[in-house]
Chains A and B, each alone.
Chain A
Amino acid sequence: MNKRFFIFIAIILLLSACVQYKLVETGKPQLLAQAFEVEPQINWSKTAYKKIEKWTVDGPALEAITFYKGYVDGESLYTIHNAQKNLPVYRNSMTPNEIMEFFVDSLIAVDRAGYEWANFSASKATTSGLRPFKFAEQRGFRFDLEFSSANGLKYKGFVIGSVIEEKLYLICYSGEKQHYYPKYKAAAEKVVASLNLVEHNQ
């Protein structure tokens, strides 16, 4: 084996270390935050960081389901080095209207801090259609979301959420408005419909 081969292998290993996606297989229930189970109806690829888990098929810049798993009073949705104090903070006293505001303000704050939110820009993010929604048979809410990429490509999404035992759970499905959002919306809805609260401390 020559030197070039080893360099090639080293690069491949380096790249694979950066991505860290895992397969989420059809029909295999997935545990979220030790609190919920969901059953995917298609294969997804997942990646996770702290309390955020992201599933995608064609890539997060095209579509993704993002799970925000169990935020307690005083926590921010994202973690940003050196800019944490500029991020909105979740409060248990928040109503669904305020949680919707907290969510979109968090996206905008991350955007302003210079961090790319999966290559999206939230500066003009808008929400609408806040309504009650059953979240794993618990009392929850749902709203719609629109935003764009930094160079103007339009995106659409929906967010569902609930506060259960003083922890905030949110699930956001979003995708490029014209093609990718509709392409996997039904699959995302099935994931949401499969949400099932599991017994604690199992």
Chain B
Amino acid sequence: MIRFCRYLPVVVMLAFFLMSCATAPVSDVRPGQTPELESDEAGLWMHMDKIEKKLKHSDRIETDADLNQYVRDIVAKLKPELADDLRIYIVRTPHFNASMAPNGFMQLWTGALLRCENEAQLAYIIGHEIGHYQKRHSLQQWRVMRNTSSTLAFVSLATAVAGVGFVGDVASLVAVAGVFAYSRDQEREADQIGFDLMVKAGYDPLEAVKIWQQMEKEREAARDKKQFILFATHPKAEERIETLKTLAQQLTGTSGELDGFKTPYTAATATFRPQWLRDELRKRKYNASEVVLNNLLESGADPAQMCFFQGELHRLRAEEHDLKKSVDCYAKAIAHENTPAVAHRSMGLLQWKLGQKDDAVRCFKNYLEAAPDASDLDMIKAYIDELELENE
């Protein structure tokens, strides 16, 4: 509320300033283009610059240089002439979303990166957002809103932008992303651009279809449909899937070799995946997360890691049959040579609860053997001592 008050005068001034401007046709953005100083667009940019500054310093930003470079390279591959005008922020938030601000900063959430199976899918998401930027959709929306809505509605939109200046929690990130809720026609246009860009760069466009099919499966499995932020502002997934399928089919045999680029994507994201999976489970939306994990497993993600996280999901959900499923998943994970060491620990804790003390001791010892420098070494040794004492 305090923040709202701080921004209110600026917002009201901005609102009235913008209301005084006439609607003009909007052309595509040109490389290096910035708005004229006294235009309504300049006011909009100025405000988004402030939000970007806050976002830049947020602890939610994934700062890893290699990962950021990898994403920037995809932008350059898709639209080299705009690459210098666009800034991408990888935001550690476990929901599927991406958004583009009018001044050229893009939010790419780690929930989207987790769900992409390959580079082609990520390229489609980025290409779609580039489409919004290229067509200056947010400026168009801003002007439509100004001309068709009541003053009150317009000011409330402006205050929504102002209120998210602190960019921290998920709600405020959503507010930044969703404040320019594009029209369906604009979304379709961005889809078409994203599609064209990905094909031109040599990516297989059927991957764009797959990611929407996957999201639809996830939404169907979820108990709480409201958690699907993207579905609130975008056209229906069914429509999108059909359109993209038709476009892809029209292309068959005309665009040479198209690829999903799975290997470079896996290489760029593998280090982060355990953390993103942990973030996913922390949402506590287990039914939807189960679909994500199953899909990753089916699409060829590391089975040891996926089985371990499936076990974690069942352990945390702890509904009927979950305990048994959890044991089964950990067992599958442990059967792989490259299983994460913590799978042994998780299995040990479960066996202990099930009263299988010998098995628990064996699992804990396996854990310590696999991770001799584990930071919970002393605690695990204490568990073993306790269990062995009980067995005597």
Contacts and interface: CB of A to CB of B under 8 A. Distances in A.
A binds B: yes
A114 B172 contact: yes
A31 B392 CA distance: 40
Given A112-B282, A123-B92, A151-B58, 15 more contacts: A88-B284, A91-B318, A93-B353, A95-B352, A95-B383, A113-B169, A114-B171, A123-B59, A124-B60, A128-B375, A129-B375, A131-B376, A132-B382, A141-B379, A152-B59
Interface of A: 86, 88, 91, 93, 95-98, 105, 108-109, 111-116, 121, 123-124, 128-132, 141, 143, 148-152
A192 to B, nearest CB: 18
B45 interface: no
A132 B378 contact: yes
Given A97-B345, A109-B284, A124-B59, A150 B376 contact: no
Contact of A96 (B60, B375, B379): B379
B372 interface: no
A131 B60 contact: no
Interface residues of B, number: 27
B351 to A, nearest CB: 12
Contacts of B60: 121, 123-124
Interface in B275-299: 282-284
B282 A97 contact: no
B349 interface: yes
Interface in B38-72: 54, 57-60
Interface of B: 54, 57-60, 92-93, 166, 168-172, 282-284, 318, 345, 349, 352-353, 375-376, 378-379, 382-383
B172 A105 contact: no
B173 to A, nearest CB: 10
Contacts of A128: 375
B284 A121 contact: no
A20 B192 CA distance: 58
Contacts of A105: 282
A152 B58 contact: yes
Nearest to A150: B168
